[in-house]
Structures are given as structure tokens and as C-alpha cells.
Amino acid sequence: MSLNELADKVGITNINLSKLKTGKVVAVRFSTLNEICKALKCQPGDILEYAEEEE
């Protein structure tokens, strides 16, 4: 699925979806995460990864 198609299904802009993809956001709304998971038919753990901040 392209970023454009996913953005349309989720209801967010391509720019915001791209920022989520590259990790350049500090927060994501649960409603947005829910819509992404619905569109991709996945669980949050399938698309999220924890990484410690570098000091």
C-alpha cells in the first residue's frame, strides 16, 4: 500500500504519515494508531519499536 493510499484511509496528511514512518514525531494519537492498524490489518506492536534515546 502506498503512503498516499494509507494516508487517505487513515485520514491524515502524507506529510504527517511520512513523519510517523521516519520517527520524526514525539507522539501519536491512539485514534491515529487505531486507524493505521485497521488499514494495515495489524497490531500496534507490528509497527512500533521502542528505542532508547541517546544521551
Q: Is 28 a domain residue?
A: yes
Total domains, the chain: 1
Position 49 pLDDT exceeds 90: no
Q: Which domain holds residue 18?
A: 3-47
CA distance 44 to 33: 7
Position 55 pLDDT exceeds 80: no
Cell readout for 18 is 511520512
Mean pLDDT of 31-46: 96
The amino acid sitting at 8 is D
Q: Is 12 a domain residue?
A: yes
CA distances from 26 to 1, 17, 18, 23 (A): 24, 13, 13, 8
The amino acid sitting at 33 is L
Span 10-29, pLDDT tens digits: 999 999 999 998 989 889 99
